[in-house]
Structure 1
Amino acid sequence: METFRDGTTRKRRCLPSLSKHLKDYPRPVRTSCRHGGKGGPFFMMRYSLPCLLLVTAAVNPAAQVNLVRNGNPQAVIVVPATTQSDDLSSAIRDLQVYIQKMSGAQLPAVYELPANRPAIVLRLGAKGLSEVGYRLRTESNHLLIEGATEAGVVNGIYGLLEDHLGIHWYIPGELGEYVPRRKNITLGAIDEKREPAIPSVTGFGGYQADPPKGAEWRRRNRLAGFIPYMHYHNWEGLIPSSERQSHPEWFALIDGERKWQLCTTHPDVIRIATQRVLEYFERNPQAKTFSLSPNDYGKFCQCERCRALDRELGVDPFAPGGQFTDRLMVFFNQIAEQVAQRYPDKILCFYAYLTHTEPPLKVKPHPNLMPVICHTPWEFCHAHAITADCAPSKRYRQILLRWRELCPHVGIYDYYGHWQWFGQWPLVHTLKIDIPFYAKAGIEHLHSETHDDWWTQPLNIFAAVKLAWNPNTDTDALIRDFCKHLFAESAEPVYRYFTLYEDLMANMPLEAKNHEDWWVYPSAEAMDKGRKLLEEAFRKARSEAVKQRVRKLQLGHHIYTIQWQAATARRASNVMRAWEADVRLIQAVQELQSSGQRDIIDMWLALRESQERGAEAQAYVNLLANAGYTTTEERERALREAETRGTDFARQLGCITEWQVVGPFPCQPGELSRPDIPVEAVNPSQRFPAPQGEVTWQKVRTDHPFGVVNLREVLSAGNGVSEYAASWVKIPAEPVSLRNGSNDGAADWLDGRMVLSADVPRGLLLDEDRVSVAGVSGKWHLLLVKVIDYGGKHWNMAVRFTDRAGRPLSVPVRTEPPDENRR
């Protein structure tokens, strides 16, 4: 008999080594705790909030440390004589530089404490502190900055500069910092011990505009020394996909083909994966974690052995809403048990993500396993806090608490910056609830995916770091200080600008589902109000620095407005206006780049996103414009015609809509121009050998208004294959333009002569390949197009003819060889 977590017992035959994975592992010690919000009661580890100020009774209330008087240095900085890390050296330099910026006085750094002189003393090896925690305390005329490690001392230096001297680094670079000015700097009695509320905090952007400045910003905001947790998608690191050719059985059988995920029940996969983990810890004894996260893909193996395991567990991951978590837990447990025998303190992380977000129903996770729950913007709600009554937030809260009951180690992967949305993504109203919730629940690790949208989403990044150290941070005061410190005389309109969108998002209806609902939520009036508030801020600006900061906000709002226009047009099914906004976006991003303003938004992502959307949109707009639809209104009318006319509309654009298609044939990168069939002539009745059996030509007609042929629907195939499409066309004797768009690359032959080849992985872009060709008057010419599939969701093609000016050219087409070509 087997007892499951739900209390049921069953007599059944288990797969080998399965039963031991259903046992109860030792549970973490917990104490009952009732959450004060809407989440109800839950259990948590014994955990306090050590970030809170701890004042000891030994403090001398009369103690003072005079650092600077009348612009002259009074104190010295006593630094450790031992070898210093780069972070500590940089922090000491910042301590000198920023006190000098404040007062004009530079404090000298010395190795020995001078008699009868005020001093800031840096001490290593303090007891009772974590690797990143620190203590500030005054003794007589000395301020001691103590840490167990150099990282703790680094964080203590910035704790002094920020919390006691009022210096802030809101955004990387000089424009993003605030330094108050004073001629005298005196510290009163201090005794405080600080630890982060969440033991490990990582992420928060790399600042691609200037990576050293990104690292500098993180250090200055007390992110030095946090232990990195490895949890990225890593099955490629366990067994690389290059092994698929020699060992296809190691990889997941998905829809009849071996894909890049692993077959987690294969004994070799379990053995090799375990060995990879052990080898990693042997090479990296200082590492605390290793990632077992599957590749970034929601589908998993369908082989009979894996499906038998699902049946043994009584869990069907392929049912509607089904999850693969139980199956994965069996795989992870087998690895964790063997690793724990040699490395009992190592943690194996994995993403709770996509189709394995929910906790397991049957299998108990090994205590050394650590789920890292992905708070994805497309599946969960970011407009409302984790304690809210909206359905996605409720589900997220329940998932977190259930994982927390099962596992002593739990992490969170959140999205405080957006990888695709470069405008307002205002989350402070949720962060001030979510992060304290994480701390109370005993979350061990918080990783934020944040991108370099520093002048459109700065408050998310800054507030999240402060809350991770101190969940009691007053975020309303934080926003006001941000505006007052960086925007001075323009602070009030800037404050109203940021709170305009923060309040809008906070008041979204509970029915809002995901990030796309926020994209279209602000009204045109709200967008215009935001623009006017920044205009007011610019008018009020007096100093050049404030003008530069407001100008960055304005440029960011311009990008935001264009993205909003595209999103609202798509939501309203106004495709043409969405395309035209996409074209404006790529132009605006390129202008931003050429102006040197590379720190406002994540330029690398913005260029990629705008080019992907903008290039596709530009192709459609140009195609319609060249067809005589020169205004927006005319192009909108053309799209309405396209919906009803289909094939006729495509022919009007010069598209070929009828083909003979054969395949698939094996085809790897570099093999596109190698023919698998005769290219000089086509016999539609001919058959060809292929790995899946004989294949023959089949007629295909597309009713897509732009002539797109969906090859995935025509041929059952996966990646690493190609197909051939043939038609006979009559083209003029004078040169015309043959234009291809395909996913992925394509090669064209005209009467057996290759005229075009583009062997590249890519998405479909109309008219991307162009070549000038000429025919013989009155003759039928064989056009043969080969398209390779590198993998992915789409495999398609579109071919048309135009004149040399790009105007559509409708040519006669047939799918049977003419008499003179028939063989």
Structure 2
Amino acid sequence: MSFRSLFACLFLMGDLPTRGDVTLVSEGRPLTVIVTPDRPTRVVVYAAKELRDHVEKACGARLEVIAESAVKADSRPRIYLGACREMGADVGRLAAEAFALRVTDLAVFIAGNDGGGDPLDASTSAGTLWGVYEWLDRDLNVRWLWPGELGTHVPKTKTVTAKSCDETIAPRFFQRRIRPGLGFESTHPALGFTTAAAKQFSDEQAVFLRRHRMGRSYPVSYGHAFVDWWQKDGKAHPEWFQLLEGGKRGPKKKDGRFSMCVSNPDLQREIVNRWTTKRPPDAKTPGFINACENDILGLCICENCRALDGPAPADYLTFYPPDSKVAGSRFVSDRYAKFWLGVQRQAPAGTTVVGYAYFNYFSAPTSGIKLNPNILIGYCPSAGWFPRSEEEHVWMKRQWTGWRETGARLFMRTNHLLDGYCMPFIFAHQFADEFHHAVKHGMVATDYDSLTGHWATQGPNLYVASRLHVRHEASANELLAEYFSAFAAASEQVKRYFDHWENFTTNSREKINQTMEALQTSRWRNWAKAAHVLYPPECFTPAETILEEAAKAARSDSEAAARVKFLQLGLQHAKLCARVSAQLSLASSTASKGEIKIAVDELLVFRRANERSGIGNFNHLAWVEELSWKLSEESRQTPDLYP
């Protein structure tokens, strides 16, 4: 039997010989080649490049990439990527995004279920690429700390060995998503990136997200589903829309937001009919009907909707601030659960209905309603910002469990990563604990809004959030140890630095809540109004001292020293932003036009000098600052011209 025939037989049986490890590079000398199919997909081409580049960074050896038809009959070990003939099996039979990673004493095989699209597109199935990243993670201990070359940690070695294994692996979650946060726009664009810097930031972040295997196994569409329905259908079908006091249907004011009359069976039927009409008859992917309420509370007071409501829990409003939209609202979780169930029962068999647990229908239902796995609920709290008290943290997790006990499937759809502006606002441990609880209780997907990308000040949050999608069982301490270890001799000081800021954040919980309420500040829109109050000048001094110690510890290691400098730049920038906030905050500023220009120019000079460093998403900051500060006309100019 030929090698290929033997491999085909064993691949299909899942019983490859695994008699030993394979040495790929010895003392810096390459012993292997990377083999791709003669007509590789774009995913395989990119996977080969990622493998070659990381191995070269580890040991200096640049592996040759050749097509399978060009392989010579010699005894060199080979790394086969993708659906090579030598695999002898149809990798298309693997589950979506799954890959086989198998190392024998003959070769390394990494093959996955790949799509034909752009390998950096989250909608492209990239099983072979995931297999390459899994191997780099395991056998080379590669860690991707933040986007860009400096954030790519590849331990140095002279010998590269692929350890014996035989596994087929699929992603734990059918969708893994942290929204890129690249859509923030401001009418004061000078506060943001220049055009070239914005592209660099976007490109590097796209690579980072794929390295953490962000993507999806099949398309799923959802979001606020009915935003244009009143305009299109309000006259013909006012009964589909919320009933208000006084008997009016639809928005309270012209062009205002509105919720639906979700008890109306005709509305439920229409939702299914419109979805069915648009769905291609030959569609092969799972079907998802978007039944997510508009971005507003459930407000309908009609008799039928109110009849669907369960009793409000005693603690329903305990953890919402008094100025929250939810404060004083009616508890309507059960009506929405019954709405989704009504839509699902009218849908074709196997179709999934998607809804949000949001606003006054976020808390778990109380009527004992039983849903089913064909109802997918996005967990989207309107409160629960980090850091939380222990009582609040327990309550938030209990809402997840309550929805899970209905029998529905759940995905994480929180906005909590939008918090913190560009300050060193650290909540990695509580974030990880919530993630672990969700995994334990049936989480099937994620969709975090959004990645604001302040890597130099909030790195532990963002690393833990990204890494948990691949190593969902790892503790926060284990993941943070990976992060800190990349600072080599300065790892102890960097750990102390971020421990300092996580303790500072946790201990500031009451002050944060009180300040946000007093200054009428949003946790995600206009945080820069309050930055100077929450991060006064004196709070930066101990942190600066720790980073100075880290810089001394890392001075003999250029890479570690550069990473410490990265953190120092982030802290310097945060301190500068807090100082400008004190001068220009809309909560108190009396600055003149000249004073505004001096304050903003100092900030912009820093940003222009460091916009290619990757320390943060300056376009996000421009958006927040426009809503937070008293600004003059100069910053309305393009950043390519001003200052």
User: CA 1:312/1:426 → structure 2, altered by over 3 Å: closer, same or farther?
Assistant: closer
User: CA 1:552/1:320 → structure 2, altered by over 3 Å: closer, same or farther?
Assistant: same
Q: Where does residue 640 of structure 2 map in the other structure?
A: none
Task: Give CA deviations for 1:342-386 in whole Å, capped at 9, x if unaligned.
Answer: 2x222221110111102333354454221111245xx115225xx
Instruction: After superposing the two structures, state which structure 1 stretch, 504-513 or 70-79, moved more.
Output: 504-513
Helix, strand or coil at the partner of 2:464 = helix
Structure 1 residue 577, shift from structure 2 partner: 9.1
Q: 2:148 aligns with which of 167, 170, 173?
A: 173
AA of the residue aligned to 1:175: L
Alignment of 1:57-206 (within 5 A): 60=18, 63-81=20-38, 83-84=40-41, 86-102=42-58, 103-112=60-69, 114-124=73-83, 125=90, 130-149=95-114, 151-205=126-180
Structure 1 residue 560 and structure 2 residue 574: aligned? yes
Structure 1 residue 422 and structure 2 residue 381: aligned? no
Alignment of 1:519-668 (within 5 A): 525-538=538-551, 541=555, 549-561=563-575, 575-576=588-589, 590-595=604-609, 597=611, 599-615=614-630
**Conservation of the 8 A alpha-carbon contact between 2:239 and 2:249:** no
* CA distance in 1 between partners of 2:327 and 2:512 (Å): 26
Q: 1:352 aligns with which of 352, 357, 362?
A: 357
User: CA 1:75/1:193 → structure 2, altered by over 3 Å: closer, same or farther?
Assistant: same
**Conservation of the 8 A alpha-carbon contact between 1:59 and 1:190:** no
Q: Where does residue 300 of structure 1 map in the other structure?
A: 299
Instruction: After superposing the two structures, state which structure 1 stretch, 227-236 or 444-453, moved more.
Output: 227-236
What residue ranges of structure 1 are gaps of 5+ in the alignment?
1-55, 620-823
Q: Where does residue 379 of structure 2 map in the other structure?
A: 373
* CA distance in 2 between partners of 1:264 and 1:474 (Å): 41
User: CA 1:499/1:276 → structure 2, altered by over 3 Å: closer, same or farther?
Assistant: same
Structure 1 residue 216 and structure 2 residue 175: aligned? no
Helix, strand or coil at the partner of 1:448 = coil
Q: 1:236 aligns with which of 215, 227, 234?
A: 227
Structure 1 residue 323, shift from structure 2 partner: 2.0
Structure 1 residue 464 and structure 2 residue 465: aligned? yes
Structure 1 residue 405, shift from structure 2 partner: 0.8
Task: Give CA deviations for 1:421-457 in whole Å, capped at 9, x if unaligned.
Answer: 2222323212332222222212111222222222222
Structure 1 residue 415, shift from structure 2 partner: 4.1
Structure 1 residue 310, shift from structure 2 partner: 0.8
User: CA 1:67/1:533 → structure 2, altered by over 3 Å: closer, same or farther?
Assistant: same
Task: Give CA deviations for 1:94-114 in whole Å, capped at 9, x if unaligned.
Answer: 112222233232232332564
* CA distance in 2 between partners of 1:319 and 1:176 (Å): 43
Instruction: After superposing the two structures, state which structure 1 stretch, 63-72 or 552-561, moved more.
Output: 552-561
Task: Give CA deviations for 1:226-249 in whole Å, capped at 9, x if unaligned.
Answer: 445433222226x26455577655
User: CA 1:511/1:558 → structure 2, altered by over 3 Å: closer, same or farther?
Assistant: closer
**Conservation of the 8 A alpha-carbon contact between 1:66 and 1:185:** yes
With the length of structure 2 as denominator, give the TM-score of the two structures: 0.73
Task: Give CA deviations for 1:700-736 in whole Å, capped at 9, x if unaligned.
Answer: xxxxxxxxxxxxxxxxxxxxxxxxxxxxxxxxxxxxx
Q: Where does residue 343 of structure 2 map in the other structure?
A: 335
Structure 1 residue 404, shift from structure 2 partner: 0.6
Structure 1 residue 549, shift from structure 2 partner: 4.1
Structure 1 residue 251, shift from structure 2 partner: 3.8
User: CA 1:314/1:399 → structure 2, altered by over 3 Å: closer, same or farther?
Assistant: closer
Q: 1:252 aligns with which of 206, 223, 242?
A: 242
Q: 2:276 aligns with which of 278, 288, 291?
A: 278
* CA distance in 1 between partners of 2:607 and 2:238 (Å): 45
User: CA 1:415/1:475 → structure 2, altered by over 3 Å: closer, same or farther?
Assistant: same
Which of 1 and 2 has higher RCO (CA within 8 Å, sep 6+)? 2
**Conservation of the 8 A alpha-carbon contact between 1:229 and 1:289:** yes
Structure 1 residue 544, shift from structure 2 partner: 6.6
Structure 1 residue 490, shift from structure 2 partner: 4.6
**Conservation of the 8 A alpha-carbon contact between 1:365 and 1:406:** yes
* CA distance in 2 between partners of 1:588 and 1:311 (Å): 59
AA of the residue aligned to 2:361: H
Structure 1 residue 400, shift from structure 2 partner: 0.9
**Aligned alpha-carbon RMSD (Å):** 4.1
Structure 1 residue 464, shift from structure 2 partner: 2.3
* CA distance in 1 between partners of 2:276 and 2:63 (Å): 51
State, as a whole percentage, how many aligned pairs show the same letter.
21
Task: Give CA deviations for 1:303-327 in whole Å, capped at 9, x if unaligned.
Answer: xxx3343146566899945222233
Structure 1 residue 484, shift from structure 2 partner: 4.0
Helix, strand or coil at the partner of 1:414 = coil
User: CA 1:234/1:490 → structure 2, altered by over 3 Å: closer, same or farther?
Assistant: same
Helix, strand or coil at the partner of 1:77 = strand
User: CA 1:544/1:374 → structure 2, altered by over 3 Å: closer, same or farther?
Assistant: same
* CA distance in 1 between partners of 2:406 and 2:330 (Å): 20
- The structure carrying a bigger strand percent of its residues is 1
* CA distance in 2 between partners of 1:371 and 1:610 (Å): 33
- The structure carrying a bigger helix percent of its residues is 2
Structure 1 residue 566, shift from structure 2 partner: 8.4
Helix, strand or coil at the partner of 1:203 = coil
**Conservation of the 8 A alpha-carbon contact between 2:308 and 2:334:** no
Helix, strand or coil at the partner of 1:116 = coil
Helix, strand or coil at the partner of 2:250 = strand
Task: Give CA deviations for 1:749-774 in whole Å, capped at 9, x if unaligned.
Answer: xxxxxxxxxxxxxxxxxxxxxxxxxx
**Conservation of the 8 A alpha-carbon contact between 1:65 and 1:187:** yes
* CA distance in 1 between partners of 2:370 and 2:264 (Å): 21
Helix, strand or coil at the partner of 1:498 = helix
* CA distance in 1 between partners of 2:597 and 2:226 (Å): 38
Structure 1 residue 89, shift from structure 2 partner: 2.2
**Conservation of the 8 A alpha-carbon contact between 2:33 and 2:64:** yes
What residue ranges of structure 2 are gaps of 5+ in the alignment?
1-13, 84-89, 115-124, 184-197, 252-256, 317-325, 518-522, 524-530, 634-643
Alignment of 1:36-51 (within 5 A): none
* CA distance in 1 between partners of 2:598 and 2:501 (Å): 23
Structure 1 residue 145, shift from structure 2 partner: 1.9
Structure 1 residue 406, shift from structure 2 partner: 0.4
AA of the residue aligned to 1:497: Y
Structure 1 residue 148, shift from structure 2 partner: 4.7
AA of the residue aligned to 2:250: R
Helix, strand or coil at the partner of 1:286 = coil
Alignment of 1:656-805 (within 5 A): none
Structure 1 residue 309 and structure 2 residue 305: aligned? yes
**Conservation of the 8 A alpha-carbon contact between 1:151 and 1:225:** no
User: CA 1:546/1:332 → structure 2, altered by over 3 Å: closer, same or farther?
Assistant: same
**Conservation of the 8 A alpha-carbon contact between 1:375 and 1:414:** yes
User: CA 1:57/1:579 → structure 2, altered by over 3 Å: closer, same or farther?
Assistant: farther
* CA distance in 2 between partners of 1:514 and 1:145 (Å): 53
User: CA 1:425/1:584 → structure 2, altered by over 3 Å: closer, same or farther?
Assistant: farther
Helix, strand or coil at the partner of 1:595 = helix
* CA distance in 1 between partners of 2:307 and 2:581 (Å): 44
**Conservation of the 8 A alpha-carbon contact between 2:272 and 2:346:** yes
